[in-house]
Amino acid sequence: MTEAAEERQNLGLLCFYPHRAMEARLFAALAAAGFDDITPAQGRLAARIGPGGTRLTDLAEQALVTKQTAGHLVDQLERAGYVRRVPDPTDGRARLVQMAGRGEQVVALARQVEAEVEAEWTAHLGEEATAALRAALTRLREITDPFR
């Protein structure tokens, strides 16, 4: 790879580096708080659970995993007390995956860590650049996130 090619990395990688740093910081904080039994794969799936709950098939689709993989991850999360399965009030045959008490604690801690990291990034970039970055990424989401 030429020096010029190394300097101009693709936008996907440039978005990935801060995401990876945020995720690593988050999982370190979770482990330090006693939530050391949740894996990144479980966390990525759980992050897609909506406020009222989400069907397993929707979680699988959004996480880009098979229904079987999603089911396995939800089983693990359920055994650890992070999620629960409840009847879907709109369809008696279906079930929703919802956050349970332990999962709600994880979500609260995650939001705190996310805010701390964003504050550090804002201090580094400045308010204006951070606002511009947020606006650009929000706009890019319009064409990259079918689940927005």
Number of domains in the chain: 1
Q: Is residue 91 part of a domain?
A: yes
Span 3-30, average pLDDT: 90
Q: How confident is the model at residue 124 (pLDDT cuts 50, 70, 90)?
A: very high
Q: Is residue 3 part of a domain?
A: no
Q: How would you class 96 by CB atoms within 10 Å of its CB: exposed for 0-12, middle for 13-18, buried for 19 or more?
A: buried
pLDDT of residue 140: 95
Q: Which residue has the higher pLDDT, 146 or 48?
A: 48
Q: How confident is the model at residue 6 (pLDDT cuts 50, 70, 90)?
A: low
Please give the residue range of the domain that contains residue 80: 9-144
Report whether pLDDT(96) > 80: yes
Q: How confident is the model at residue 141 (pLDDT cuts 50, 70, 90)?
A: very high
**What's the maximum distance between 2 C-alpha atoms anywhere in the chain?**
60
Sign of CA dihedral 124, 122, 143, 98: positive
Give the CA count within 13 Å in the CB-facing half-sphere of 142.
Answer: 6
Report whether pLDDT(21) > 70: yes
Span 105-111, average pLDDT: 97
Q: How confident is the model at residue 146 (pLDDT cuts 50, 70, 90)?
A: confident
Q: Is residue 92 part of a domain?
A: yes
Q: Is residue 87 part of a domain?
A: yes
| Residue 15 belongs to domain with CATH number | 1.10.10.10
Span 44-64, average pLDDT: 95
Contacts of residue 18, Cβ cutoff 8 Å, sequence gap at least 6: 121
**pTM (predicted TM-score):** 0.86
Q: Is residue 118 part of a domain?
A: yes
Contact 96, 53 (CB under 8 A): yes
Q: Is residue 2 part of a domain?
A: no
